[in-house]
A and B are shown apart, each in its own frame.
Chain A
Amino acid sequence: MKIARSEGLSLLKKIFLVDLIKGLMLTFSYQRPSASYTEQYPKVRPKVAQRYRGAPRLNNDPETGETLCIACNLCALACPEYCIEVAWDRTEAGKKALTTFTFDLSRCMFCGLCEDACPTPCLELTQDFELALYGRNDMKWDRQKLEEGNQPVLYSK
C-alpha cells in the first residue's frame, strides 16, 4: 500500500496559514482543565494493577500463623539474578523447615519467575511499589521483613 503523500499546500492555504492555525486550534482546545492527564502522585495514591509485580512478601497461613514456605528452594533456582537464598533444617520427622530466607531487592528485576515457581501460595510479589531505601544494605530483606512487608518512612504534608 502506497502511503498518501501530499505534495505541499495549495497557495491559498499557504497564504492564510491554514496549516499553522490547525495546530493552534488543537492546542487551544486542550486547555480545559478536564483534559488534564496528570496524576498527583504523592497526594493521590495511584491504583496499580492487581497483578502488579512489586515488593516480595512471604505469606503466612492466616489460621495458624505459620509460614507457608516449604523450603523447596525452587524460587532460588528459578531466579535469573540469583538474588534469593533459602536455608532450612531437617526436623526430627525428616521434614524441611525454613530457617532463613533472604531476598536481595537491589538485584531483583521483578520478573515474577520466583512467584511462578513457588508451589505454595507463599512467595508473592505484592502491589507495593515504593521501595526507595536509605542504604544498600537495607535492600537485603530477611525473612521477618519479607513477612511484614516494607515499612516505609512516611512523610506528611
Chain B
Amino acid sequence: MTTDEQTLFDSNEITLSMGPQHPSTHGVLQVKLKLDGERVLDAECVIGYLHRGVEKLGEHQTYGQFLPTLDRMDYIAAVSNCLGYCEAIERLLGIEAPPRAQYVRVLLTELNRISSHLLWLGTHALDIGAMTVFLYCFREREEVLKIFENYCGARLTTHIFRIGGLQYEIYDGFEEQVRTFVKDFPKKIDEYEQLLTENRIWIGRTRGVGVLTKEEAIDLGVTGPCLRASGLEWDIRKSNPYAAYSEFDFEIPVGEYGDTYDRYLCRIEEMRQSNRIVAQAVEKIPDGPIKAKVSKIIKPPVGDIYHSIEAPKGELGYYVVSDQTTLPYRVRVRPPSYVNLQALRQMVTGHMVADVVAVIGTLDIVLGEVDR
C-alpha cells in the first residue's frame, strides 16, 4: 500500500477505491482502480461485503425451509432462484410438478425475468446519466410486482414456489392482469428504445465499450445475456429445457460484437421474447392439481444432483448432496453474477473511469448473489 502522497506525486498513477459506498457499484462491490488520469490501468474487485453464508445456511435448514433464504441471493430475480432449487430437489426426489404448476412457474419466472431486466435497464441507464429511463422502468416493474403481490403476498422476496409444485392457486383476475400487462408492455419497451437506442450520446457511451469476444466470454465462464451478446447462442431454456419451456415458442437474441451496446440490445430483445412467452403461457394454463404428492418431511434418497436454469443473469446452478436426512448434506450454488463479475477486469482495462460504471451496469450483477 502506498500512501496518498506517494501515489499523487511520485508517479502518474492514483489508486481510486470505487465502492463499497459508491452510487453506481450496484450494492457493496468495491473496485480498486489504478488510474492514469482518467484511464484505467487495472481494476481489482473486492467482494464479500454482503456475505451471509447462504450455502452453509442450507445445510442447517430443511429442504423446504431453505427456499425463503434463497430469495435473498439474487433478490431481484427471487422467482428464478426458487425455481432452480425446487426443480433440483424435485429431480433428487424423482418427482415432477404437475403441468399446471409447470405453466404457472414458467409464466411467473418470465415475468420475473422482465422485472429483473427492467431493473437492469433502469440502473444501467441511470449510471450513464439517463435518469428518466429509470423511473419509466420502475413503473412497469411495479406492475409485475403487483402481480407477484397478488399471487403470493410478497413483492420482492417472494418465496413463490414450493418443492413439488405451487403453494398458491392463481387468484381471480390473474389472467386478466397478466394479459393487460402483456398487451401494454411492448409499447413501453418502444419508449425506452425511443429514449436510448438511437440516442447519439447513448451510442457513444456504449458502443465499443467493454468488448468481450466470444472466446474470452467462454474462457471466463460468462453466461446469460453477456455471453449471448458476444455471439454464442447458448440458453439453457433451449439447450436443456426445464419446466415447460420446450412447449413455448421463443427466440434467443444473439449479438455480434460483444460490446455494451450489444448487451443492451440483447436484453431489450429478451424482454420482448419473455413477453411472448408470458403471452403464450397465460392462454394455455392447463387445469389440474398444482402440487405433486410430496410428503411433509422431505428426505431425498442418497445422491447428488446438479440442476441449472437460465436465470435473468445467466446460468444459475444448484448442486445438492443428500444423505437421506431432512437436511441437505451440501448445497452449492453457481451464481451467474459471481462468475460474470470476473470479466470486469478484462472489460474495463484501458477504458476510462466513466466506462467502469457502464461496464458494471452492463454486467448486471447483484451483490447479494455474488457474495451469497
The chain A residues found within 8 Å of chain B, CB to CB, are 1-6, 8-9, 14, 18-20, 22-23, 26-27, 37, 48-53, 78-80, 109-113, 116, 125
Of the candidates B168, B171, B251, B261, the one whose C-beta lies within 8 Å of that of A1 is B251
Of the candidates A1, A20, A110, A111, the one whose C-beta lies within 8 Å of that of B200 is A20
Of the candidates B61, B132, B142, B157, the one whose C-beta lies within 8 Å of that of A109 is B157
Q: Within 8 Å of chain A (Cβ to Cβ): is B52?
A: no
Of the candidates B139, B153, B198, B251, the one whose C-beta lies within 8 Å of that of A49 is B153
The residues of A that contact B159 with a CB separation of less than 8 Å are 111-113
Known: A111-B68, A113-B68. A3 touches B154 (CB 8 A): no
Cα–Cα, bound, A119→B66 (Å): 21
Cα–Cα, bound, A5→B152 (Å): 39
Known: A50-B150, A80-B69. A116 touches B167 (CB 8 A): yes
Shortest CB-to-CB span from A1 to chain B, Å, is: 4
The residues of A that contact B171 with a CB separation of less than 8 Å are 50-51
When each residue 149-187 of chain B gets 1 if its CB lies under 8 Å from chain A and 0 otherwise, what string results? 111111001010000000110010000000000000000
Question: Closest chain B residue to A116 by CB distance?
Answer: B167
Q: Within 8 Å of chain A (Cβ to Cβ): is B255?
A: yes
Q: Are A52 and B198 in contact (CB under 8 A)?
A: no
When each residue 4-39 of chain B gets 1 if its CB lies under 8 Å from chain A and 0 otherwise, what string results? 000000000000000000000000000000000000
7 contacting pairs across A/B (C-beta < 8 A) = A2-B256, A3-B253, A48-B149, A49-B150, A78-B64, A79-B65, A80-B61
Cα–Cα, bound, A79→B62 (Å): 10
Q: Are A3 and B265 in contact (CB under 8 A)?
A: yes
Cα–Cα, bound, A2→B252 (Å): 8
Cα–Cα, bound, A69→B196 (Å): 57
Q: Are A19 and B198 in contact (CB under 8 A)?
A: yes
Q: Are A26 and B253 in contact (CB under 8 A)?
A: no
Shortest CB-to-CB span from A78 to chain B, Å, is: 7
Shortest CB-to-CB span from A73 to chain B, Å, is: 14
Give the 7 A-B CB pairs with smallest separation, nearest first: A111-B68, A80-B65, A51-B153, A53-B153, A1-B251, A19-B198, A49-B149
Shortest CB-to-CB span from B155 to chain A, Å, is: 9
Question: Closest chain B residue to A5 by CB distance?
Answer: B265
Q: Within 8 Å of chain A (Cβ to Cβ): is B194?
A: yes
When each residue 56-72 of chain B gets 1 if its CB lies under 8 Å from chain A and 0 otherwise, what string results? 00000100111111001
Question: Closest chain A residue to B148 by CB distance?
Answer: A49
Q: Are B132 and A3 in contact (CB under 8 A)?
A: no
Shortest CB-to-CB span from B252 to chain A, Å, is: 6
Known: A49-B153, A52-B149. A23 touches B194 (CB 8 A): yes
Q: Within 8 Å of chain A (Cβ to Cβ): is B199?
A: yes
The residues of B that contact A3 with a CB separation of less than 8 Å are 253-256, 262, 265-266, 269
Q: Are A14 and B200 in contact (CB under 8 A)?
A: yes
Q: Within 8 Å of chain A (Cβ to Cβ): is B195?
A: yes
The residues of B that contact A53 with a CB separation of less than 8 Å are 153-154
By the criterion of a CB under 8 Å from any partner CB, how many residues of chain B are at the interface? 45
Q: Are B265 and A111 in contact (CB under 8 A)?
A: no
The residues of B that contact A2 with a CB separation of less than 8 Å are 253-256
Q: Are B194 and A26 in contact (CB under 8 A)?
A: yes
Q: Within 8 Å of chain A (Cβ to Cβ): is B203?
A: yes
Cα–Cα, bound, A43→B370 (Å): 39
Question: Closest chain A residue to B57 by CB distance?
Answer: A80
Q: Within 8 Å of chain A (Cβ to Cβ): is B191?
A: yes
The residues of A that contact B132 with a CB separation of less than 8 Å are 27
Q: Are B153 and A1 in contact (CB under 8 A)?
A: no
Question: Closest chain A residue to B253 by CB distance?
Answer: A3
Docked complex: B219-267 residues within 8 A CB-CB of A: 251-257, 261-262, 265-266
The residues of B that contact A112 with a CB separation of less than 8 Å are 152-154, 159, 167
The residues of A that contact B197 with a CB separation of less than 8 Å are 6
The residues of B that contact A27 with a CB separation of less than 8 Å are 132, 195
The residues of B that contact A1 with a CB separation of less than 8 Å are 251-254, 269
Of the candidates B151, B191, B199, B266, the one whose C-beta lies within 8 Å of that of A51 is B151
Question: Closest chain B residue to A51 by CB distance?
Answer: B153
Question: Closest chain A residue to B269 by CB distance?
Answer: A3
Question: Closest chain A residue to B135 by CB distance?
Answer: A37
Q: Are B66 and A80 in contact (CB under 8 A)?
A: yes
Cα–Cα, bound, A112→B153 (Å): 9
Pick from B167, B197, B198, B255 the residue with the most CB of A within 10 Å: B198
Q: Are B195 and A113 in contact (CB under 8 A)?
A: no
The residues of B that contact A8 with a CB separation of less than 8 Å are 203
Q: Are B68 and A80 in contact (CB under 8 A)?
A: yes
Q: Are A78 and B65 in contact (CB under 8 A)?
A: yes
Q: Are A20 and B151 in contact (CB under 8 A)?
A: no
Of the candidates A51, A78, A109, the one whose C-beta lies within 8 Å of that of B150 is A51
Pick from B142, B149, B191, B201 the residue with the most CB of A within 10 Å: B149
When each residue 61-101 of chain B gets 1 if its CB lies under 8 Å from chain A and 0 otherwise, what string results? 10011111100100000000000000000000000000000
Cα–Cα, bound, A125→B139 (Å): 27
